A and B are shown apart, each in its own frame.
Chain A
Amino acid sequence: MIYTASTTAIVVFVVFVGFVLGISFYLGRKAKSAQGYFAAHGQIGWFVNGVAFAGDYLSAASFLGICGMIAFYGYDGFLYSIGYLAGWVVALFVIAEPIKRLGKFTFADALNANYNSRAIQIAAAISTLVVSIFYLIPQMVGAGALCTPLLGLPHWAGVVIVGIVVLMIVVTAGMVSTTWVQFIKGSMLVVFCAFLTIAILGRGFRVTASRDALKPVTVTNPKDIPYGGQVVDIGSAGTTPGASTGPLGPIEFFRRINDVKVVQWTIKPDAATPGASIYTPVEKPVSDLMLPGGSSTFKGVRSSKLVDKLDFISLMIALFAGTASLPHILIRYYTVKDAAAARKSTVVGIASIGFFYILTLYLGLGAMTSGALDPTPAGSNMAAPLLARTFGELPFAIISAIAFTTVLGTVSGLIMAASGAVAHDLMENVFKHHPNENAKVGAAKWTAIAVGIVAIILGTLFKDFNVTFLVGWAFNVAASANLPALVMLLFWKRTTRAGIVSAIWVGMLSSLTWLMLSGPAYTNIYKLDASRAIAPFSQPGLVTIPLGFIVLVVVSLMTRKATDLRAV
């Protein structure tokens, strides 16, 4: 049986969540004003903010999803690591300093800094809401997936627990407590994953099962599901169970893994017995898995069709362009004092996030060769915790609790971004309703509760979706809707307010429409054949990001006269 109830896990879990909530309540006493609630008084130090970037950004999808994807499909999970980190280059070199100078609380503030336009505020606020809610879904789904094996609770209960705990964090002290939760979580995640990587290197590769012992099995009871990730051959060191390479260096690890052969299980329903599945062992050399294209998401890399290659390129562009367009990341720039602090904190963020993404390859490959995986599709999200369990019950408990706080940190940031969009951008700047500070913070808190409830409902509805895949969708929408407006505002002096507004709407609606007409939406949402999909490939970024730029330029040139008049 792969999952067993663990008292240690539950105790560590409760202690972690209690610790995080305690800090939130303690710091919450200090944040009463709107400046405190939305931007932590702009007084967060650059180092803390940099690590909080990591805590904000390294979501459940990054941590659980990437490790699981590497464990199941090899190199493909690492492509996400590469793309997610590359996005920070855009954030540091292009966006960080100007966004800090232009804005006050939200991304809409920055876009609107030179225009004072209600239409820009509405478009930017709606885009913030859409992107944040899109991004919230996979986080909530990840939380539910984690709670089932860890605490023995049903999926919906996990989603509700995360929703309630996050709302307690956000409602108590907004950005102050959110920042500290993200700082603690970011530090713990990076440090503990580093320890786990050292343990993986210290153990080296070992044969976990005999090739002859692995035979097809028919499973009717989930308790009989066989362990995945069995190592049957480690090259010159042998094929006898228990044989080991001994400790390996970080580079030697990649050299020696080319000699390793693992057994993965293919799962098919048993035609003879309803409800039963046949698990068949398939032996694979890991060297074959160390190249991109093993999973369905990236299979386009190995395809001879141009359309499939464009799909791959499109996703890599969306990952590259999406990070600097995510509202919950952008609002972190308002918690520091000035542009220099914004830049320094981004460098700290890149260092911690980059270091973590390098670790993901060791963790994923460690899980792939751990002999302890859950081979079912839902088990991919549990690869990292199950890997930790091969080192003992306590590491399992700690990594599961860290994964849970990972969800808390990211969801808090997302709900903050959404509540800022409604209470600050829409209520105050669009409808010109100017409440006093207390009422404004109150409105933001009520918005946070409303968004939290929406997130709980969506997290329950989308429970069968692949977590990492949904995050890819959020990156596409964010990059298409926000990046053209942000970049052109900064670097093209002829940009007009109409250009910005139309670029946001066109980018957002075109990418959403494309996604809803793509093969994965046909399969997963409408339960139709993917070949009937209208969109030529599934990832829209390659088309809709340039479309946003083109619309902005054309509309700006067409409306330039009006802007000139306004300037006079």
Chain B
Amino acid sequence: MISGMSDPSPRQDSRHTIARNARYGLWLFFVYVIFYAGFVAISAFKFDALRADVGGVNLAVAYGMGLILLAFLLALVYMTMTRNDSTRDSGDAGDSRDSRPEGRA
């Protein structure tokens, strides 16, 4: 039975790491929000634009599929951008008890 792949040991991340990961996350979140809001806005207010032909399929199908693929793409980008101290040697133990992301402390 597959027991899954897990990191060798859990360790708290430094405040710096937490803040950086949260910042990247928010940026990518806003990128996605723009595309999602665009889809909802076109559907609600420019309905006929959804009939436009995009490579043989209509815009509704192309945009919908695109949103699903974009979510996966951004998730991969986030994975490559973020780091955790448990994956490096230089964990900042002094800040390890602070569990709040940027702007909260």
Contact = CB atoms under 8 A, between A and B. Distances in A.
Interface of A: 42-49, 75, 78-79, 81-82, 85-86, 88-90, 92-94, 97-98, 101-102, 113-114, 251-252, 254-255, 287, 290-293, 300-302, 309, 312-313, 316-317, 320, 336-341, 343-344, 346-347, 350-351, 354, 357-358, 361, 490-493
Contact of B101 (A292, A351, A491): A491
20 contacts: A44-B6, A46-B6, A75-B64, A89-B71, A92-B75, A92-B78, A93-B32, A97-B21, A251-B57, A290-B58, A290-B61, A312-B44, A313-B40, A316-B36, A317-B40, A320-B36, A337-B6, A338-B86, A340-B86, A340-B87
A46 B72 contact: no
Contacts of B2: 45, 47-48
- Nearest first, the 8 closest Cβ-Cβ pairs linking A and B are A45-B4, A48-B4, A93-B25, A340-B84, A93-B29, A338-B10, A255-B56, A45-B6
A350 B99 contact: no
Contacts of B45: 309
A45 B3 contact: yes
Interface in B1-52: 2-7, 9-13, 18, 21-22, 25-26, 28-29, 32, 36, 39-40, 43-45, 47, 50-51
Given A101-B18, A491-B101, A86 B71 contact: yes
A316 B51 CA distance: 20
Interface string B80-97: 001010110000000000
Interface of B: 2-7, 9-13, 18, 21-22, 25-26, 28-29, 32, 36, 39-40, 43-45, 47, 50-51, 55-58, 60-61, 64-65, 67-69, 71-72, 74-76, 78-79, 82, 84, 86-87, 99-101, 103-105
A115 to B, nearest CB: 13
Nearest to B57: A254
A62 to B, nearest CB: 13
A78 B68 CA distance: 11
A361 B61 contact: yes
Interface of B is mostly: helix
Given A93-B29, A490-B101, A290 B60 contact: yes
A89 B104 contact: no
A339 B84 contact: yes
Contact of A85 (B6, B12, B68): B68
B7 to A, nearest CB: 6
